[in-house]
Amino acid sequence: MKSYREELWVETKSRRAYINITPQVEAAIRKSGIQEGLVLVNAMHITASVYINDDESGLLKDYDEFLEKLAPHEASYRHNETGEDNGDAHIKRQIMGREVTVAITNGQLDFGPWEQIFYGEFDGRRRKRILIKMIGE
């Protein structure tokens, strides 16, 4: 069994963004040479998420509106009393999740129909890291 590790770096111009990172994960799988195994994709910041869903613009807008209703940026958060202004981003990350694990079969992501891997940014405008870690043969 072998392992492979790679980092992606993302910097968004806006506070919130949803980025399809499937092509970068697929490229990492090719570099790794792993044909059968698992890949973990993890947002390495507590105000960002990695999740799987459909790459459809209406759905991405629906996510953004839904999350903003649940945890509005302009609401009062105790966390913001520390001098931060991102209490909402921490909550949005909890809702969307930290990471995904996907099977690798025949050197490819073993997805269901329409599945794609996304990076969800909830407190952007600075450089953040995404971990890609694989094990397999």
Note the pLDDT of residue 119: 98
Q: Which residues of 25-43 are buried (b: 16+ CB within 10 A; e: fewer)?
A: bbebbeebebeebebebbb
Note the pLDDT of residue 6: 98
Q: CA torsion sign, 64 to 69 to 70 to 71?
A: positive
Q: What are phi and psi of 70, to 5 degrees?
A: -70, -40
Q: Which CATH superfamily is domain 2-136 in?
A: YjbQ-like (2.60.120.460)
| Half-sphere exposure of residue 30: CA atoms within 13 angstroms, side-chain side | 6
Token pair, residue 92, equals 């949005």
The structural domains of the chain, with segments of one domain joined by +, span: 2-136
- pTM of the shown model: 0.96
Q: Are 18 and 60 in contact (CB under 8 A)?
A: yes
Average pLDDT rounded to a whole number, residues 36-44: 98
Q: What CA–CA distance (Å, rounded) separates 24 from 7? A: 10
Could you report the per-residue pLDDT of 69-119, keeping only the tens digit for each?
999 999 999 999 999 999 999 999 999 999 999 999 999 999 999 999 999
User: Of the candidates 99, 137, 108, which has an alpha carbon nearest to the alpha carbon of residue 27?
Assistant: 108
Number of H helices, E strands in the chain: 3, 8
